[in-house]
Amino acid sequence: MASQSRAAGQYEELSAVDAAGLITTWQSVKADALGPKHAVGRLEEVLEGKLWDEWHRRAQELKAQNWCGQKAVTPVVRTGHIAGVSQNW
């Protein structure tokens, strides 16, 4: 993700489909990092800098406490629309 960094205020607009894909990827990566295997290797797919540091630290702390989370991932896209997001945004 580091190669996609932008200066403050200089971001490309995401389509609804791309945004849904990013959210789905984040849900999967977070589930891996906080799940029973504490697989933090994928965090760099969606995070960088301070956010990567924070989530990596959280996953390592949970691993040290022998704790993990298991949550069903909610589908983001339903019938071609992002759930809960108006198309008029």
Q: Map 10-73 to HEC letters.
A: CCCCCCHHHHHHHHHHHHHHHHHHHCCCCCHHHHHHCCCHHHHHHHHHHHHHHHHCCCCCCCCC
In a domain, 57, yes or no: yes
Residue 37 burial (10 A CB sphere; 0-12, 13-18, 19+)? exposed
User: In this model, does residue 89 exceed pLDDT 50?
Assistant: no
Check residues 6 and 60 and name the one with the higher pLDDT.
60
Whether the predicted model's global pTM rises above the 0.75 cut: no
In a domain, 74, yes or no: yes
Provide the pLDDT confidence category of residue 12 given band limits of 50, 70 and 90.
confident
- Number of domains present in the structure of the chain: 1
In a domain, 22, yes or no: yes
Check residues 9 and 81 and name the one with the higher pLDDT.
9
In a domain, 65, yes or no: yes
pLDDT at position 9 = 64
In a domain, 1, yes or no: no
pLDDT at position 74 = 60
In a domain, 89, yes or no: no
User: In this model, does residue 29 exceed pLDDT 50?
Assistant: yes
In a domain, 2, yes or no: no
| Domain housing 38 | 11-79
In a domain, 87, yes or no: no
